[in-house]
Structure 1
Amino acid sequence: MACKRLLHPSLACVISLLGLASFACSDDGSGEGESDDEGGPIENPLTDPESGPAAGNPEGSCAIPAAAMPADVSSPDTVIGDGSPESCTSAAVVDAVAGGGVITFDCGPDPITITLEQTAKIFNDTGPEIVIDGGGLVTLSGAGARRILYMNTCDQDQVWTTAMCQNQDHPQLTVQNITFVDGNATGEEVDGGGGGAIFVRGGRFKLVNTRFFNNICDESGPDIGGAAVRVLSQYEGEPVYVVNSTFGGEPGLGNSCSNGGGLSSIGVSYTVINSYFAYNEAIGNGANPAQDGTPGGGSGGAIYNDGNTFTLRLCGTKIEHNTANEGGGAIFFVSNDRSGSLVIEDSQLCDNPSAGFETQGYPGIFVLDDDDAPQVSDSSLAETCG
Structure 2
Amino acid sequence: MRVKPLVALLALTVAGTGLPACGRSAPDGGTPPAPVVAPAPSGGVAATSPTGAPAARSGLGGPAAGASPRPSAKAGALRAGNPGGGADVPAEARAVDTSKPTRTIGSGTAASCTSAAVVKAVAAGGVITFDCGPDPVTIRMTATAKVRNANGPRVVLDGGGKVTLSGQGRRRILYMNTCDGAQGWTTSHCQNQDHPQLTVQNLTFADGNSTGERAEGGGGGAIFVRGGRFKVVNSRFVRNRCDRTGPDLGGAAVRVLSQYGNKPVYVVGSTFDGGVCANGGALSSIGVSWVVLNSLLSDNRAVGTGANPARAGTPGGGSGGAIYCDGDGFTVRIAGTVIEGNKANEGGGAVFFVSNDRTGTMRIENSTLRRNPSDGFETRGYPGIFFLGARNPTLTGSTLS
Give the TM-score taking structure 1 as reference length.
0.85
**1:144-171 superposed Cα distances (whole Å, 9 cap, x missing partner):** 0000000000000000000000000000
Opposite residue 394 of structure 2, the aligned amino acid is Q
Structure 2, unmatched stretches of 5+, are: 1-22, 31-76
> How far apart, in 1, do the equivalents of 2:373 and 2:200 lie?
31
Opposite residue 100 of structure 2, the aligned amino acid is S
Opposite residue 155 of structure 2, the aligned amino acid is I
| Correspondence for 1:124 | 149
Please tell me whether residue 139 in structure 1 is matched to residue 139 in structure 2. Answer: no
The match for 1:71 among 96, 104, 120 is 96
Displacement of 1:240 after TM fit?
A: 0.3
| Correspondence for 2:69 | none
Opposite residue 282 of structure 1, the aligned amino acid is A
| Correspondence for 2:203 | 178
| Correspondence for 1:251 | none
Count of residue correspondences = 333
Opposite residue 139 of structure 1, the aligned amino acid is T
| Correspondence for 2:25 | 3
**Any conservation in 1 of the 2:249–2:279 contact (CA below 8 Å)?**
yes
**Any conservation in 2 of the 1:204–1:234 contact (CA below 8 Å)?**
yes
Displacement of 1:323 after TM fit?
A: 0.2
Displacement of 1:5 after TM fit?
A: 8.0
**Any conservation in 1 of the 2:317–2:346 contact (CA below 8 Å)?**
yes
| Correspondence for 1:379 | 398
**Any conservation in 1 of the 2:78–2:162 contact (CA below 8 Å)?**
no
**Any conservation in 2 of the 1:307–1:335 contact (CA below 8 Å)?**
yes
**1:240-291 superposed Cα distances (whole Å, 9 cap, x missing partner):** 000000000xxxxx00100000000000000000000000000001000000
The RMSD of aligned alpha carbons is: 1.3
Opposite residue 166 of structure 1, the aligned amino acid is Q
The match for 1:94 among 111, 119, 128 is 119
Opposite residue 218 of structure 1, the aligned amino acid is D
| Correspondence for 2:299 | 279
> How far apart, in 2, do the equivalents of 1:146 and 1:92 lie?
17
| Correspondence for 2:330 | 310
**Any conservation in 1 of the 2:24–2:377 contact (CA below 8 Å)?**
no
> How far apart, in 2, do the equivalents of 1:234 and 1:200 lie?
9
Please tell me whether residue 203 in structure 1 is matched to residue 228 in structure 2. Answer: yes
| Correspondence for 2:350 | 330
Secondary structure at the residue paired with 2:192?
A: coil
> How far apart, in 2, do the equivalents of 1:287 and 1:6 lie?
15
**Any conservation in 1 of the 2:241–2:275 contact (CA below 8 Å)?**
yes
Please tell me whether residue 61 in structure 1 is matched to residue 80 in structure 2. Answer: no
> How far apart, in 2, do the equivalents of 1:299 and 1:3 lie?
14
Opposite residue 345 of structure 1, the aligned amino acid is E
| Correspondence for 1:369 | 389
**Any conservation in 2 of the 1:3–1:356 contact (CA below 8 Å)?**
no
**Any conservation in 2 of the 1:4–1:326 contact (CA below 8 Å)?**
no
Displacement of 1:220 after TM fit?
A: 0.3
Please tell me whether residue 300 in structure 1 is matched to residue 320 in structure 2. Answer: yes
> How far apart, in 2, do the equivalents of 1:108 and 1:118 lie?
23
Aligned ranges 1:225-374 → 2 under 5 Å: 225-248=250-273, 254-371=274-391, 373-374=392-393
Opposite residue 25 of structure 2, the aligned amino acid is C
**1:54-113 superposed Cα distances (whole Å, 9 cap, x missing partner):** 411122001100010111101111100111111001111111111100100000111100
> How far apart, in 2, do the equivalents of 1:334 and 1:323 lie?
18
**Any conservation in 1 of the 2:227–2:260 contact (CA below 8 Å)?**
yes
Displacement of 1:7 after TM fit?
A: 2.3
**Any conservation in 2 of the 1:5–1:355 contact (CA below 8 Å)?**
no
**Any conservation in 2 of the 1:115–1:141 contact (CA below 8 Å)?**
yes
Please tell me whether residue 169 in structure 1 is matched to residue 188 in structure 2. Answer: no
**1:19-41 superposed Cα distances (whole Å, 9 cap, x missing partner):** xxxxxxxxxxxxxxxxxxxxxxx
| Correspondence for 2:140 | 115
Please tell me whether residue 224 in structure 1 is matched to residue 245 in structure 2. Answer: no
Opposite residue 381 of structure 1, the aligned amino acid is L
Distance 1:126 1:53, change over 3 A: closer
Opposite residue 3 of structure 1, the aligned amino acid is S
Distance 1:3 1:54, change over 3 A: farther
Displacement of 1:308 after TM fit?
A: 1.0
Distance 1:109 1:130, change over 3 A: same
Secondary structure at the residue paired with 1:380?
A: strand
Displacement of 1:209 after TM fit?
A: 0.4
Percent identity over the alignment is 65
> How far apart, in 2, do the equivalents of 1:89 and 1:61 lie?
37
> How far apart, in 1, do the equivalents of 2:206 and 2:133 lie?
20
Displacement of 1:3 after TM fit?
A: 3.2
Greater relative contact order structure (CA < 8 Å, 6+ sep): 2
Please tell me whether residue 83 in structure 1 is matched to residue 108 in structure 2. Answer: yes
Displacement of 1:53 after TM fit?
A: 8.5
